[in-house]
Amino acid sequence: MKYAEYLKSSHWRELRQAKLAGAGRACNRCGSTDRIVVHHVRYRNLFDVELADLEVLCQECHDRHHRDNPRPKQYQEHAKADANDERDKLRQRMSAATASYNEIHGITKKRKRRRRR
């Protein structure tokens, strides 16, 4: 399972809600209650996550954390692969939608010639 899919799982939703409730829905670092996120402090395995592995942060503190603490190269490679997979899926959907549209409207793949001036 990819990370983006994991974030949609009931396992993650339950952990996230428990962590938010335990922190009073406020940033652990600055106390803000605006734009709150639940940050993974450490990654072992997607389903091997405990409340102690998570931290409640506002978006500003979360951004600062990642700016000051770049992600390990291994994580960056996984994230890049996930992004590439998502991009490829989107391209396939767009291609299929374009083909359907063209078929419905009787559009062929003839290219227009450009006039040279």
Residue 98 pLDDT: 82
Residue 74 pLDDT: 55
| Structural contact between residues 31 and 62, judged by C-beta atoms closer than 8 angstroms | no
The Cβ of residue 81 has, within 10 Å, a number of other Cβ atoms equal to 11
Over the chain (117 residues), the average pLDDT of each successive run of 10 is: 85 95 96 95 80 95 92 60 73 83 76 61
Give me the residue spans of the domains in the chain.
1-69, 71-103
Residue 83 pLDDT: 67
48 burial level (CB within 10 Å; 0-12, 13-18, 19+): exposed
